[in-house]
Amino acid sequence: MTRLLIKYSKDGDAALLSHRETMRILERALRRSDLPLVFSAGFNPRPRMSFTPALPLGVAADAEYMEVSVETQVDTSEARERINGALPEGLKVSKVQVMASNMPKLSKWTRYGLYRITGLDGDKLLLLQLGGDKQGRLRDALENMSERWGRTVHIKAVTRMGLYASRYEVFEDVGGPVYEYDGENQKLEEIEGE
Per-residue pLDDT tens over the stretch 7-60: 999 999 999 999 999 999 999 999 999 999 999 988 988 999 999 888 889 999
* C-alpha span between 49 and 65 (Å, rounded): 11
**With a cut of 70, which residues of the chain have pLDDT below it?**
193-194
> Residue 86: its pLDDT value, please?
95
Helices (H), 16-62: 19-32
Contacts of 138 (CB under 8 A, 6+ apart): 56, 59, 115, 128, 158
Question: Nearest-5° angle of CA 148, CA 150, CA 151?
Answer: 115
